[in-house]
Amino acid sequence: MKNYEIQTQPFIVPTTDGKLIEEHFGFASINIGDYSFARMIVPAGWSEPHQVPEFDEVTFVFRGTKKIEVDGEEIILSKGQSICVKKGSRVKYSNPFEEPCEYVSICVPAFNIDRVKREI
C-alpha cells in the first residue's frame, strides 16, 4: 500500500461556459472530500454568477488576469499573484480581459457543486 498517489489523468469537470476545469485531486476525481486541487483555463470574456461557497478557495494565477469580486470589492489578480477567499464570502469570478487566464485553485473542504451556492 502506497502513502501517495500520482495523478496522470485529471477529471475534466463538465462545463457549458468554455471554462476548462481539470481536477487532479478532490471530490470529483478521487472522492476526497477534505480538499480539492484543480487547474483551470477561462477564455477571454468569461464570467460566472455570484456565489457564497461553503469552502475556502486559494487561487494562484499562472497566465493572464482574473477579476474577483469579494463582498463588493473588486480585485484584479495577475500572473504570479494569489488570493484566499474565505467560505461564506459573496464572490464572483470573471475574466473580462482580452486573453485567457490559467490558474490553479485549492478548495477546503473539496469543491462540490452543492457547496458552491451560486446565485441565479
pLDDT at residue 30, as a whole number: 87
How many domains is the chain built from? 1
Q: Confirm whether 4 is domain-assigned.
A: no
> Whole-prediction pTM value?
0.92
Q: Confirm whether 81 is domain-assigned.
A: yes
* Mean pLDDT, rounded, for 55-61: 98
What percent of the chain is predicted at pLDDT more than 70? Answer: 99
On the question of pLDDT at 58 being above 90, the answer is yes
Residue closest to 51 by CA, chosen among 105, 97, 114: 114
Q: Confirm whether 99 is domain-assigned.
A: yes
Q: Confirm whether 72 is domain-assigned.
A: yes
Instruction: Say which CATH number the domain at 72 has.
Output: 2.60.120.10
Q: Confirm whether 6 is domain-assigned.
A: no
pLDDT at residue 120, as a whole number: 80
Q: Which residues make Cβ contacts (< 8 Å) with residue 2, sequence separation at least 6?
A: none
Q: Which domain holds residue 98?
A: 11-116
